Amino acid sequence: MPMNPNMSICGKVRPCICVNLKCFNCLSDSLFPDNLNNGILHPEFKDKCSCPPPCESYTYKTNPNYSKLHAKNMAAMLGLTGSEEDLEDDISANYVILNFFIKEHAVLTKKEEIVYRSANLFADIGNSLSLLLGLGMINIIEIFFCLFLIIIDRIRYFIKFRRLY
């Protein structure tokens, strides 16, 4: 069943309705890119696929390990019948056993936060000054206001003093 174009992929509706071996069939194109190019995949792999790629992905550092599959054992395990040569070609083209060994179990999380807003910055400056200098923000504003008044008074004095001479 091909994927419905109106289906929500990254929304709350889960688009993949695969269960057990169906999901393996749906993702076979990703697992076997060489076989896809050679055209030796089973036709039901393309017809039954209703699983789009996932919206979120996780990356782990892995140590891949692989070896050649034993066709007789795999055929017995999967209940496949046929000649030994056909089974070997079929199994090597369409089946795989994956063993992933995760090297590190550490999880890296990233969280973005706004470091400072302007109100928090002034509050922290005021707290630091009051703790270290015994001053509050009101006192600092009063000091600037007093300096401003002194400067204005001196300017008036010099203007008045110039007029006298």
- Each residue's pLDDT expressed in tens, for the chain with a length of 165 residues: 444 444 454 444 445 555 555 555 555 555 555 655 555 555 555 555 555 555 555 666 666 666 777 777 777 877 878 888 887 788 777 777 776 666 666 666 777 777 778 888 888 887 887 777 776 667 778 999 999 999 999 999 988 887 766
Helices (H), the chain: 21-26, 28-31, 33-38, 44-47, 71-78, 84-94, 118-132, 137-164
The model carries a pTM of 0.24
CA atoms within 13 A on the CB side of 114: 6
